[in-house]
Each structure stands twice: as C-alpha cells, then as structure tokens.
Structure 1
Amino acid sequence: MKRFLLPVLIGILGLPLGAAGGYLLRPAPATEGEPPAEAAAPRDYVDLSNQFVVPLLADGAVAGLVVLSLSLEVEAGQTEAVLRHEPKLRDVFLQAMFAHANAGGFRGSFTDSAALAPLRQALFEAAGGVLPGVVSDVLIKDIVRQDD
C-alpha cells in the first residue's frame, strides 16, 4: 500500500504546482496601444560581378580549384558604394580565401556549415575593413570544388 501512496501524492501535488508555474511564467499579453516591434532596416543585396577562383595546392602544384560566387547584404542605398569599391573588395576577399585554402579549409566536407563558418567570418571582416558599417553580411551563393 505504501508503494502506491508516493506516486499518488506526487500526482496530486504536481498537477496544481505545474499549472501554477505555467500561469506565472506565461508571456505578457500584448496591448493594443503597444507599437509593433521595430522592423528590420531595409537591405539591398549586391552581387559581385565575377566568380572567385581559388587554386588548391598540394606539394607545390595545383591539385584543384574552388569557385565561389558572393553577394553582399548592405544597408539600403549603399549599392553604389559597394560597386565603387568592388576592386578593393575582390582583393581582400581573395586574400581571405587564399588564407582559408592554405589552412586546409577547402579539404574534406568543406561545405559543412561548421567548416564554412571561419570563411564567412573572414570574408565579413575583410568587407568591414573596406566598407565599415555598410556590409551587414557576406553571402556565399555558389561554391564548387574541382579536383584534378
């Protein structure tokens, strides 16, 4: 009989305590006078004109190629600024991609999101160095690896 008493007591006490906790922790109701949450600032997307080609080296010889297409997410109205700085952006992006390739970032399952995270961060930092406060994200549109 004592074996059944403990589960029954837990059920009797647990149900009202759980309901009280749910009632106390519920989200506050929205009022009609409350303004809606701020909408995200409008963004433009700028496609960089050409693909990026990154050679993969093994023992001093080209063992393959990685081809990437990038797009930049920028504040609305900043498209012209990006296009004016595209040569410099391409240069710093290639530097970041070469460093990523030399560190082995394009080996194995290079398209895994964890493997691409350092490349995305390096590209974002490179863009911020050229256009500080303008670029909010660097998008990898296409990525292909061709091994010889």
Structure 2
Amino acid sequence: MKKLLPIILLVLGLGGGVGAGLALRPDPVLPVVEDGMEVDGKAHADSQANEDKEEGPPQGREYVELVDQFIIPVVNDNAVASLILITLTLETDAGENERIFQAEPRIRGALLQAMFDHANIGGFDGAFTNSSKLDPLRKMFVEVAQKVYGEEISDVLIVQITRQDVS
C-alpha cells in the first residue's frame, strides 16, 4: 500500500492537470469564407505578422558576431585578480557583414581598449552584471564602434560575459 499511494497520487495529479488544460483551452477560431477567400483567416494572419514584426529583430538589420571572445584582466594591487570573458555581436545595417569583417581588427582594438579602461575604473568589480554597471559599458561600446566604423553600427550586444577569479 505504501508503494501504491505515490503512483495513485501521480496519476490523479496528471489527470487533473490534463483535465484543467482541456477545460481552460481557448475556443478555436474558425475562418469565415466569403467568395472563396478566408476573411477572418487573412485578418488573423495580418495581425500575427504585425505581432511578429514587433517581437522580432528590427527590419533591415543584420547581426555580426565578433569571432573571438575578449579577455580582459582585472588588476588589483599589481596582480591579476580575475579575468573577464566577453562575447559581442554588432547590430548593423543590412549588407554590412563583409565590410564589418574587413574592419574587425580596428573595431576589436577599439572595443578592447574601452574594456581595459572600464576595468581600470572598477567596472568589473563586485556585482559587475548589475544594470547600473552594464548600461554605461553598453553605451560606451556603441560610441566606440560608431567612432571607428560609422553610424551603420546601431548597437553592440553583450552576448556573454563571465568573470573567472584567479586564486
């Protein structure tokens, strides 16, 4: 009986969940057909397309992932206290991929210098992923990238950021 009780409770819980899901499911919307064309289906498709546009990436934009991670040493008391690893992606105008890859060494160099400056002012100390510390870093990335490359770069996305403390 002790082994049977958990199985009975599991089956009852599963059945209750399925029943609640079926009972609370929204009613299906059937398309209205007029002159061989779906009226409601078309309206639904248009509204769905508008929702997708709002949630998806901006139109006319491309994303260029910078190939390698950035590695930034954080120095405290003349010794490396930790290493910061950052992966960045650039949001650019459509058709800029090839030109971005050609200019990548210059862009990487400028972004790396900005990261060193950020580390030197303590930007990677403590809770470095707090928005109060990451927002200025993001803005600085965009300014530096636009200064080096141009207004075609509209944003610099921090895809990954980690800190490895050195013991």
Same-fold status (TM-score > 0.5) = yes
User: Is 1:96 aligned to 2:121, yes or no?
Assistant: no
User: Within 1, Cα distance between the matches of 2:148 and 2:74?
Assistant: 26
The aligned amino acid for 2:88 is L
Partner of 2:131: 113
Question: C-alpha distance in 2, partners of 1:122/1:109?
Answer: 19
Among 103, 118, 140, which residue is 1:122 paired with? 140
Larger relative contact order, structure 1 or 2 (CA cutoff 8 Å, min sep 6): 1
Corresponding residue of 2:82: 64
Whose helix fraction is larger, Structure 1's or Structure 2's? Answer: 2
Tell me how many residue pairs correspond in the alignment.
Answer: 111
What amino acid is the match of 2:99? A
Unaligned runs of 5+ in 2: 1-49
TM-superposed CA distance for 1:41, in Å, is: 3.9
Equivalent AA in structure 2 for residue 49 of structure 1: V
For 2:79 and 2:99, locate their aligned partners in 1 and report how far apart those are by CA, in whole Å.
38
Which amino acid is 1:64 matched to? Answer: S
Other-structure match for 1:85? 103
Is 2:145 the partner of 1:142? no
How big is the alpha-carbon RMSD for the aligned residues of Structure 1 and Structure 2? Answer: 1.4
Scaled by the length of structure 1, what TM-score is found? 0.72
Q: CA deviation at 1:100?
A: 0.3
Q: Is the contact between residue 54 and residue 67 of structure 1 (CA under 8 Å) also seen in structure 2?
A: yes
The alpha carbon displacement at 1:96 in A equals 0.4
**Contact 1:43–1:76 under 8 Å retained in 2:** yes
Determine helix, strand or coil for the equivalent of 1:87. Answer: helix
Q: Secondary structure at the match of 2:133?
A: helix
* Aligned equivalent of 1:133: 151
